[in-house]
Amino acid sequence: MRTSKPIATISYNTQEFLLYKLNEMIKSHTISDYIFINHFAEEDERKNHIHLWLKPNKLLDTMDIQAFLTEVDPLNPTKPLKCIDFVTSNVDDWILYGMHLEPYLKSKNEERQYHYTK
């Protein structure tokens, strides 16, 4: 997808790698802002993960960003750590869902075991 609108994904990268790459994108003016929230795996999920939101600073190809955020896993070099497909995202909804704010989840008929704070 080519877009200049805010985008979001779920990342399975290590936090250190992700921070390094996100800060590179800020320095290169590829993005102007980012937010992420670490999540524990819920009962219906297999792994801990990171919810990631990006504000592009120009037109981006999300497949290029996915490739840029691909990390070699030293424990399993044949299966890299990476992001799932990006989607366009409204930051307010992203924050409310990312925090698993109970009133927001209830309004969407959802329920989660873990809840996060700022």
The residue with tokens 């990631």 is: 52
Contact at 8 Å (CB) between 106 and 35? Answer: no
- Write out pLDDT tens, residues 62-118: 999 999 999 999 889 999 999 999 999 999 999 999 999 999 999 999 999 899 988
Name the band, by pLDDT with cuts 50, 70 and 90, for residue 27: very high
Gap between the Cα atoms of 61 and 37, Å rounded: 23
Copy the structure tokens of residue 78.
């044949």
**pLDDT digit string, tens, across residues 34-74:** 999 999 999 989 999 999 999 999 999 999 999 999 999 98
H helix runs in the chain, sequence order = 15-27, 62-68, 91-98, 102-107
Say what the pLDDT of residue 36 is.
97
